[in-house]
């Protein structure tokens, strides 16, 4: 709609609103007032407005009979030949004939005095004078409209909305503010606001159609909760369709969503929604493509789920370069079962495109597929470069893969880097890194004591993924170990008896483990003795492994197995258990708090999560919260909350109040992560859960 037409409707409508309730309006005659514009005062509701200047006692004019709708349509269409003259023309004629003029009174000065004294109607009339006069001053008009609005004049509120709609008297066009003031007028109970909006929407101006659609969709209530406009979804949809039928893409999407966000639709409604959305898709709308993919993926609005259709629309979005869609399509091809050479090529191509747009997950998959020659020619050097780039940006799975590659390298420095990367990734929530780390501790990895065998740590890290992301791998490993009668299989059986409080049976199994892995078996035998209050025997068994010791192991060289002794600086779990005995003193073992703290510190430093929890609690109980939180965060890296649920709760509180910066870099948003910490159950024990579900 042209600016002239809208302004004509708004001004004429508001002038008419002021004119209709009164018998006559009088304008004083003054040489200072332009004769071309004389604007009558508005009519406060429900009483008639007082005239701008006193009426002459004998002057009476009959109320004009105005066909408001036809008059406004005439203005809207620029038709000056209407049978009903416009109100502006009538005012001009009366002004020229002298009917509205009185000698020796300056009406503008009179209005300003009233406005400054708080007369909102006078302020509004001044605003109209400056807005419609021959020498317009929009800034001055806006100032008086604002004053009138603050005084409760809702017609001024509508003019403020008009000023923002066109940028008259304000810094810039602001349709959001225009919308706000139209809504304020409605919420104040001015029914003429709705009438005006409907008139303005007659030429299908999108802004007004959308505003009316929203009004009827949500309804309008005043400050006291009284309904001004009731919810009418049919009318809301009618206005949306008028937008859509103009070819407006946003309108087409809005109609589609209007239908499909509802739970039950007829087949005809479903089809109409899909038709509107397809029009938007044909126009190249990325939003429509993504929404159509969601419709078929989730079956929105009762539409039958269709993975093929979902993929089709997602791929259309990807072809427009949408990063999220590129990643979605890449994953669809990557996870295709059965895979084909073509599906692998397409997966790599879409990962490559998404990576070029900065998607970190896509960068990781690009490196992974390059390393394996999956869907692309193998290039290990290029792959390592890509994985290093992703790892450098804190992608935990890239760290896990790069760590795994480095651990297999013959260079000891690379192996050290690999272990560091894997521990970091595992501590940041990578399940793949946790599984790799468990297997490193199970068998020992690398050369030169990079990773030494440690069944205690292997069981812990395995328990975090065994009944979840890596359940199939775990079940396969257990079957293999059982067949070989591997010591770790026996160790796990011992842990099962231990968790079931069958300590004598557990000791038998741990004694069997001792034959091939003394520290692993004897430490848990000591733990059983502690449970049976045999503290002296337990302490003696543990002391053997709190310092340097040698452990026999079997290695393979040139296809032949041979026994060798590897040097350990300590067995961390033994340090932890002995530290707990000495911390309180268990008869007949005397208390030795200094030695206990030293042993617990060693265990914590060597990756025993429960040692970090215990130390954190010691400092927390002694009002050293900062140091306590340091230990809690180390425990968090090992997700060692079994038996220490209060540690997770304290961490959650510290993250929530900002006293602690997060180190956990998982995919979850921080608020969701805090909820996950608080949601850890009282009986949380992933090791016991793993053992209970293992068929020995």
Residue 347 lies in a domain: no
Higher pLDDT pick, 17 / 374: 374
Same-domain pairing of 9 and 126: yes
Q: Are 213 and 205 in contact (CB under 8 A)?
A: no
Instruction: Identify the pLDDT of residue 565.
Output: 76
Same-domain pairing of 640 and 523: no
Per-residue pLDDT tens for 395-436? 999 999 999 999 999 899 999 999 999 999 999 999 999 999
Residue 296 lies in a domain: yes
Same-domain pairing of 580 and 655: no
How far apart CA 674 and CA 670 sit, in angstroms, is 6
Q: Of 294, 319, 344, at which residue does a domain stop?
A: 319
Residue 260 lies in a domain: yes
Per-residue pLDDT tens for 155-169? 999 999 999 999 999
- CA-CA distances (angstroms) from residue 435 to 142, 156, 202, 672? 68, 69, 66, 24
Residue 624 lies in a domain: yes
Q: What percent of the chain has pLDDT over 70?
A: 83
Instruction: Identify the pLDDT of residue 57.
Output: 39
What mean pLDDT is predicted for residues 379-399? Answer: 97
Same-domain pairing of 105 and 157: yes
Q: What percent of the chain has pLDDT over 90?
A: 72
Q: Are 526 and 538 in contact (CB under 8 A)?
A: yes
Residue 448, pLDDT above cutoff 90: no
| Structural domain harbouring 599 | 502-607
Q: Residue 559 burial by CB count (10 A; 0-12/13-18/19+): exposed, middle or buried?
A: exposed
Same-domain pairing of 623 and 595: no
Residue 451 lies in a domain: yes
Same-domain pairing of 82 and 24: yes
Both structure tokens of 126: 């001044």
Residue 475, number of CB atoms within 10 A of its CB: 15
Same-domain pairing of 139 and 68: yes
Higher pLDDT pick, 106 / 281: 281
Q: Are 400 and 430 in contact (CB under 8 A)?
A: yes
Q: Is 104 left (phi over 0), alpha (psi -120 to 50) or beta?
A: left
Q: Are 59 and 24 in contact (CB under 8 A)?
A: yes
Report how many domains make up the chain: 5
Instruction: Identify the pLDDT of residue 66.
Output: 41
Residue 496 lies in a domain: no
Q: Are 87 and 128 in contact (CB under 8 A)?
A: no
Q: Of 578, 607, 636, at which residue does a domain stop?
A: 607
Residue 118, number of CB atoms within 10 A of its CB: 11
- CA-CA distances (angstroms) from residue 665 to 428, 604, 637, 657, 668? 5, 21, 10, 18, 8
Q: Which one, of 466, 647, 455, lies nearest residue 553 by Cα?
A: 455
Residue 593, pLDDT above cutoff 50: yes
Same-domain pairing of 168 and 65: yes
Same-domain pairing of 657 and 597: no
How far apart CA 407 and CA 294 sit, in angstroms, is 42
Helix (H) or strand (E) holding 556, with range, is strand 549-557
Please identify which residue in the block is written with the tokens 């990773």. 451
Same-domain pairing of 306 and 422: no
| Signed CA dihedral, 412, 418, 424, 427: sign only | negative
Residue 196 lies in a domain: yes
Q: Of 607, 627, 656, at which residue does a domain stop?
A: 607
Residue 336 lies in a domain: no
Residue 365, number of CB atoms within 10 A of its CB: 27
Same-domain pairing of 150 and 193: yes
Per-residue pLDDT tens for 368-381? 999 999 999 999 99
Residue 205, pLDDT above cutoff 60: yes
Please identify which residue in the block is written with the tokens 């989730």. 298
Q: Are 577 and 538 in contact (CB under 8 A)?
A: yes
What mean pLDDT is predicted for residues 214-218? Answer: 96
Both structure tokens of 603: 């265990």
Please report, for the domain that includes residue 196, its CATH number: 1.25.40.10
What mean pLDDT is predicted for residues 171-186? Answer: 96
Per-residue pLDDT tens for 655-696? 988 888 876 554 457 888 888 899 999 999 999 999 999 999
Both structure tokens of 123: 């302020």
Same-domain pairing of 53 and 198: yes
């Amino acid at each position: 709609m042209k600016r002239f037409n809208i302004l004509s409707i708004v001004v004429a409508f508001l002038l008419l609103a002021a004119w209709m309730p009164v018998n006559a309006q009088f304008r004083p005659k003054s040489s200072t007032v332009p004769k071309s514009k004389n604007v009558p005062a508005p009519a406060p509701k429900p009483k008639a407005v007082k005239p701008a200047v006193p009426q002459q006692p004998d002057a009476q004019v009959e109320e004009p009979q105005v066909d408001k709708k036809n008059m406004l349509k005439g203005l809207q269409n620029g038709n000056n030949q209407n049978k009903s003259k416009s109100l502006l023309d009538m005012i001009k004629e009366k002004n020229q004939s002298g009917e509205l003029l009185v000698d020796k009174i300056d009406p503008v000065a009179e209005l300003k005095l009233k406005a400054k004294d708080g007369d909102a109607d006078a302020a509004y009339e001044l605003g109209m004078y400056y807005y419609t006069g021959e020498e317009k001053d929009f800034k001055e008009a806006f100032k008086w409209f604002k004053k009138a609005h603050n005084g409760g004049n809702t017609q001024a509120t509508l003019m403020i909305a008009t000023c923002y709609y066109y940028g008259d008297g304000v810094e810039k066009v602001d349709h959001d503010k225009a919308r706000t003031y139209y809504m304020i007028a409605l919420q104040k109970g001015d029914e003429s606001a709705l009438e005006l909006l409907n008139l303005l929407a007659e030429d299908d101006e999108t802004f007004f159609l959308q505003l009316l659609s929203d009004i009827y969709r949500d309804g309008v209530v005043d400050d006291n909760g009284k309904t001004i406009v009731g919810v009418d979804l049919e009318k809301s949809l009618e206005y949306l369709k008028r937008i859509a039928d103009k070819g407006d893409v946003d309108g087409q999407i809005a109609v589609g969503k209007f239908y499909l966000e509802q739970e039950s639709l007829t087949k005809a409604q479903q089809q109409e929604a899909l038709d509107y959305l397809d029009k938007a898709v044909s126009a190249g709308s990325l939003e429509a493509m993504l929404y159509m993919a969601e419709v078929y993926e989730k079956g929105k609005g009762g539409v039958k789920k269709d993975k093929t259709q979902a993929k089709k629309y997602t791929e259309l979005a990807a072809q427009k370069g949408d990063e999220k869609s590129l990643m979605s399509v890449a994953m669809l091809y990557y996870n295709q079962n059965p895979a084909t050479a073509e599906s692998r090529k397409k997966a790599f191509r879409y990962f490559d495109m998404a990576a070029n747009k900065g998607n970190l997950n896509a960068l990781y998959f690009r490196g992974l597929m390059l390393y394996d020659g999956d869907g692309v020619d193998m290039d290990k050097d290029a792959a390592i470069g890509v994985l290093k780039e992703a790892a450098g940006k804190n992608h935990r799975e890239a760290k896990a893969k790069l760590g795994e590659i480095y651990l297999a390298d013959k260079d000891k420095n690379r192996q050290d880097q690999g272990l560091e990367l894997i521990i970091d990734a595992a501590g940041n929530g990578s399940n793949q890194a946790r599984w790799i780390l468990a297997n490193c501790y199970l068998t020992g990895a690398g050369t030169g004591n990079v990773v030494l065998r440690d069944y205690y740590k292997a069981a812990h890290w395995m328990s975090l993924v065994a009944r979840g992301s890596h359940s199939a791998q775990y079940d396969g490993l257990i079957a293999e170990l059982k067949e070989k009668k591997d010591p770790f299989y026996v160790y796990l059986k011992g842990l099962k008896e231990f968790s079931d409080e069958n300590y004598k049976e557990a000791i038998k199994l741990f004694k069997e483990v001792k034959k091939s892995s003394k520290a692993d078996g004897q430490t848990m035998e000591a733990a059983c003795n502690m449970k049976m209050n045999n503290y002296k025997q337990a302490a003696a068994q543990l002391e053997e492994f709190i310092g340097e010791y040698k452990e026999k192991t079997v290695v393979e060289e040139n296809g032949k197995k041979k026994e060798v002794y590897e040097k350990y600086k300590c067995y961390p779990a033994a340090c932890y258990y002995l530290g707990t005995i000495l911390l309180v003193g268990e008869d007949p073992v005397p208390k030795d708090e200094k030695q206990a703290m030293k042993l617990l510190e060693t265990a914590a430093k060597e990756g025993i999560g429960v040692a970090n929890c215990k130390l954190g609690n010691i400092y927390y109980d002694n009002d050293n919260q900062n140091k306590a939180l340091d230990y809690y965060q180390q425990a968090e890296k090992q997700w060692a909350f079994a038996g220490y649920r209060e540690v997770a709760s304290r961490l959650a509180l510290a993250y929530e109040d900002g006293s602690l910066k997060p180190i956990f870099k998982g995919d979850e948003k921080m608020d969701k992560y805090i909820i996950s910490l608080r949601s850890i159950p009282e009986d949380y024990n992933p090791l016991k859960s793993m053992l209970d579900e293992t068929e020995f």
